[in-house]
Amino acid sequence: MHPAFSVIFLTTLIGVGQGLFLALFTGQSYSAVELLPSQDSTHFYGIGGFLALLFLIGGLIASVFHLGHPERAWRAATQWRTSWLSREVIALPLLMALVFVYAMMHYFAWDTVLFTSGTGARLQASLVVGTLGVIATFALFLCTGMIYACIKFLQEWASSLTVINYLLLGTASGFFFATAFSAWAAPELMRFYGIWTAIITLAALVTRLASLIRNNRIKHKSSIQSAIGVRHTKIVQKSQGAMGGSYNTREYLHGAPIWMFRSIKWVFLVLVFPVPLALLWLGLAQGSGALLLAGFIVQYIGLLFERWFFFAQANHPQNIYYGAV
């Protein structure tokens, strides 16, 4: 597939937003059961929530560039019965609304305690909203992942690993951001987030490697033989009827030279995993917010490469018909 920059930014930015929201919610939940010291609602959860929202909005804006007719985007919510894309279109604003409410509640301290348990754990209204947010977040991860995973003949994508990777990579980057953010806003949570970041990043490494291995081993079901219905071991396309190219040659072929395609795999593997982890370790060790932020940025850039590769690696069967470039 030809990697569309709008989609690369859309998926990575909302990934950060979703992950960050999960991180905030995790932090607040831990605090609620007093496993962590509680934080300044306005400055940490409030601002943090707005930052998550900003990432989500960034993603939304990026997605608009993907649409031919953004003014009709509302129509995209109509086919939730059959279309994962439609479901994503519903899940994303829903999540944004919940994150917005969550952030407002914290920022303006509209939060109320709904219930305090015997042990002193308090159930705040924001936690209820947050829980709904978490559900929306997971739903959104599922929708985003399924958009790709549900196209069965895009065999590189048609796997639960696609959804898991979206989930883990987004969450890792969000947690990383939360780590860096906490260096400023809540230094005592820094280590907490840092450890979670490391765990999720490592988990993502495992699942992403798993998908790379899987994709390496894929046996494509379609062949030039099944594509044109001629049985012969040697079939070569000589012309595709459009010498200046067509939509089909632009949308489905990454067009990068093979060395670039291969190196981008290594670039993302390095930028998403070891380098950020090293920076994370250093940052945590030195308590340096700057290093942590650098770690997040490196990982985010790595994710841009990862997403590029995710698209580029997907081999659309239609390309069999457009092999003679």
Partner 1 sequence: MPSHNPVASDAEARIEVKNTTCYMCACRCGIRVTLRDGEVRYIQGNPDHPLNKGVICAKGASGIMKQYSPARLTKPLRRKPGAERGAAEFEEISWDEAFQIMEERLAHLRKTDPKKFALFTGRDQMQALTGMFAKQFGTPNYAAHGGFCSVNMATGMIYTIGGSFWEFGGPDLDRAKLFIMLGTAEDHHSNPLKIAMSQFKRNGGRFISINPVRTGYSAIADEWVPIRPGTDSALLLALIHQLLKTGLYDRDFLVQYTNAAELVSVDEDSDDFGLFVRTDIPHPKDCFDPQDRVWWDRRQDKAVPARSEGADPFLMGEFTTADGRRVKPAFQLLKERVEKYTPEWAATVTGIPVETIERLAYEMGITARDDKIELPIAWTDVWGKDHDTVTGNPVAFHAMRGLAAHSNGFQTIRALSILMTVLGTIDRPGGFRHKAPFPRPIPPCAKTPNSPDGVKPETPLGGMPLGWPAEPDDLFVDDRGEPVRIDKAFSWEFPLAAHGLMHNAITNAWRQDPYAIDTLLIFMANMAWNSSMNTSEVRKMLNDKDENGEYKIPFLIVADAFESEMVAFADLVLPDTTYLERHDVMSMLDRPISEYDGPVDSVRIPVLPPTGECKPFQEVLIELGSRLKLPAFTREDGSRKYRDYPDFIVNYETEPGSGIGFLAGWRGKGGEKFMKGEPNPNQWEMYEKNNCVFHYELPKSFQYMRNWNRGYLNWAQEHRLTRYAEPINCHIYSEVLMKFRLAAQGKTEGKQPPEHLRKRVETYFDPLPFYYEPLESQLSDKQKYPLNAITQRPMAMYHSWDSQNAWLRQIHAHNHLYMHPSLGEKGGFDDGDWVWVESMWGKVRCMCRFSEAVEPGTVWTWNAIGKAAGAWRLSDDANESRKGFLLNHLISEELPPHADGEHLSNSDPITGQAGWYDVRVRVYKAGDDEPAETSPQFDPMPAVPGTGKTPKWLAYFAGKFARGKNP
Partner 2 sequence: MTQLALVIDLNVCVGCSACVTSCKEWNTSGPAGAMSDDNPYGKDPTGTFFNRVQTYEVGSFPMTETVHFPKSCLHCEDAPCVPVCPTGASYKRPEDGIVLVDYDKCIGCKYCSWACPYGAREFDEHEKVMKKCTLCVDRIYDESLPESERKPACVLACPTNARLFGDVHEPESEVSVAIREEGGYPLMPEWGTKPANHYLPRRKTRMHIHEDELVRADNPLKKEERGPSAPVAEPTLDDSTSW
* Cβ atoms 194, 236 nearer than 8 A: no
Residue 227 neighbours by CB under 8 Å, 6+ apart: 317, 320, 321
- Name residues whose C-beta falls within 8 Å of residue 211's C-beta, 6 or more positions apart in sequence: 159, 161, 162, 165
Total of residues contacting partner 2 (CB under 8 A) = 57
Choose the binding region for partner 2 from 78-86, 159-167, 275-283, 298-306 (rule: CB under 8 A).
78-86
Q: Which helix (H) or strand (E) holds 114?
A: strand 113-116
- The yes or no reply on residue 325 touching partner 2 (CB under 8 A) is no
Which of partner 2, partner 1, none binds 287 (CB below 5-8 Å, type-dependent)? none
Between residue 205 and residue 244, which ones bind partner 1 under the rule CB under 8 A?
234, 236, 238, 241-244
The amino acid that residue 250 corresponds to is R
| Nearer to partner 2 (CB atom), residue 56 or residue 320 | 320
Site string for partner 2, 133-152 (x = CB under 8 A): --------------x--xxx
From 20-28, 181-189, 224-232, 282-290, span contacting partner 2 (CB under 8 A): 224-232
Sign of CA dihedral 64, 161, 167, 163: positive
Q: Pattern 1-40, binding to partner 1, x per CB under 8 A?
A: ----------------------------------------
Dist CA 164 CA 67 (whole Å): 26
- Euclidean distance between CA atoms 176 and 166, whole angstroms: 15
Task: Take residue 84 and report the two structure tokens written for it.
Answer: 């994962």
Segment 234 to 293, residues that bind partner 1, using CB under 8 A: 234, 236, 238, 241-244
Residues that bind partner 1 (CB under 8 A): 234, 236, 238, 241-244
